Amino acid sequence: MHFNHYGGEAARLAADLVNLTETPRPEDLETLLAAHGVVNRALTTAQAESIWDWSRRLAVCFGRQDLEERCHAVNELLADASSSPRISLHDGQPHLHYSAIGADPAAHIRAVTAAGLAYVICSAADRLGRCARRSCALAFVDTSRNGRRAYCSVRCANNDAVARHRDRGRASQDRTHS
Number of residues that this document lists for the chain: 178
Other C-beta atoms lying within 10 Å of the C-beta of residue 146: 7
Please return the burial class of 78, using the count of CB atoms within 10 Å of its CB with bins 0-12, 13-18 and 19+: middle
**Confidence label for 168 from pLDDT (cuts 50, 70 and 90):** confident
**Confidence label for 164 from pLDDT (cuts 50, 70 and 90):** confident
pLDDT at 175 over 70: no
Average pLDDT, rounded, for the chain: 89
Question: What SS3 class is residue 109?
Answer: helix
Q: Which of 27-31, 102-106, 136-140, 168-172 has the lowest mean pLDDT?
A: 168-172
DSSP string covering 22-64, please?
SPPPHHHHHHHHHHTT-S-----HHHHHHHHHHHHHHGGGSSS
